[in-house]
Structure formats: structure tokens, C-alpha cells
Amino acid sequence: MNALQDALHPAGIQASHIAALWWFTVAVCGVVFVAILAGLFYALRHAPRADAASVPDMESMDRPESGAKRVVVTAVVLSAIGLLVLLAASVVTDRALATLPLANAVHIEMVGHQWWWQVQYDDPDPSRMFNTANEMHIPVGRPVVITLKSDDVIHSFWVPNLHGKKDLIPGRVNTIQLQADKAGVYRGQCAEFCGLQHAFMAFTVVAEDDAKFQQWADAQRKPAPEPTDA
């Protein structure tokens, strides 16, 4: 299965909130675009013609410009209302992203290096902790708390099918919570330019049912097999 990287095909609850905000913003901007085109066509239709008499109409010159003022005031008010609506939608989305229940969460630490990802699976028993590189497995339907650290420069964690972006800043510890509701393989990417090999600093997230996840984790904890030949 090819890994997906598409914010418009959410596979988790947070990504669904972000996609809903995106579509709402597109709808509002589409309405504004249509209104602007309608105003433009109206102005062109009622513009003075080139063959009109060159002598100005004194009655029209003395007419107050109340109509133009009303149009400007109406446009300003509607623009302010639209911006406030988008701001409110953004705030509601941010609140929804911050309220993911974290009961029975999987805890993972990701460290960004130039130019690869170190993935450590935490456990109360240190002997059960293990590391992988450039690949993260998570169980479907369970929240995942990811601790983000950088070993060198600023990186950015981004799996658009599951959540938005979160920066990894040297000397600081950030966290991001996500949950996959659909099994699949999703592509993650460093979204902050971090050097010559930045474009290749990608990773995959494998979302699978809890039984398969536990089976995979148990296999990772086993000692590496001895080589059978040279």
C-alpha cells in the first residue's frame, strides 16, 4: 500500500477538524470571490459609455454620493463579519484539537536528526523500551502522545492525514497528541527546512489494530537474531 500524504483525506479526529476548517474557509472565500465578481460586472455594466455626450450632466454632478458611501460601508461591515466568523471557526477548531481524551495513550518520543527520525517507544519498564528509525507504528482508536525533540536544528513534525504541524526546537520539548481512526500507512514529513537533505527527511506512520500493534511491538523487543553466515 502506498503511503498517503493528504490533509483533505483525514484518517483521525484531529485531521478531520482541520479539514472541516479548511473546507469552511474555502466556502467563505468562494462566496467573497463570487460577490467581488458580481460587483465588478455590475460596475462594468453601468459604467459611462465612450460615446456618451461629453457635456457633463449637472444634475448628476450635484447628486449626493450616498449610494457609493452605502456600498463602501456595507462592504466593510461584511468583510469584518467574515473575518470574525473565520476567527471564531479557527478558535473552535483549536479548542477541539486540544480536547483529545488521553486515557490508555501510547507514549512515543521522536527526535529529529539531520536528516532522519529516531522513534522511541516509552514504557514504565525501561527494559521494554525500544527504538526504530523513520517508521512509527500506532494502534487504531487509541490516542498517541508524541514528545518531540531536536538533536541539532529546527525540524517540524507533520503527518497531514492525522494532524497539523508541530515544530521541534533545539533545547525545548514539545508534544503533540493524535489518534488514527482508520488503518493504513501514512506519510510524514519534516515541514521546516533543515539543510541539504531536508526533502528526504520523511517517515511513515503505520496505523493498525491493537492486536497487530502489540504483536509488532513484542517482536521489536526481542533480541536481534545472530547472523547465520558471513
Decide if pLDDT at 27 tops 80: yes
Cβ atoms within 10 Å, residue 128: 13
Which of the listed CATH numbers 3.40.50.360, 2.60.40.420, 3.30.390.50, 3.30.43.10 matches domain 1-222?
2.60.40.420
Q: What is the sign, positive or negative, of the torsion defined by CA atoms of 183, 116, 120, 174?
A: negative
The tens digit of pLDDT for each residue in 72-120 reads: 888 888 889 989 999 999 999 988 888 888 888 999 999 999 999 999 9
Lowest mean pLDDT of 4-8, 26-30, 34-38, name the range: 4-8
What's the pLDDT tens digit per position in 125-153?
A: 888 899 999 999 999 999 999 999 999 99
What pLDDT score does 65 carry? 60
Domain ranges across the chain: 1-222
pLDDT at 67: 65
CB 202 within 8 A of CB 112: no
pLDDT-based confidence at residue 57 (cuts at 50, 70, 90)? low
Find the farthest-apart pair of alpha carbons in the chain and give their distance in angstroms, rounded: 102
Lowest mean pLDDT among 40-49, 69-78, 173-182, 191-200: 40-49
> Is the confidence at residue 1, as pLDDT, over 60?
no
What does the pLDDT average to over 29-53? 80
Judge whether 207 and 4 are in contact, CB under 8 Å. no
Instruction: Indicate the helix (H) or strand (E) that contains 178.
Output: strand 174-178
DSSP per residue, 99-110:
T---TT-EEEEE
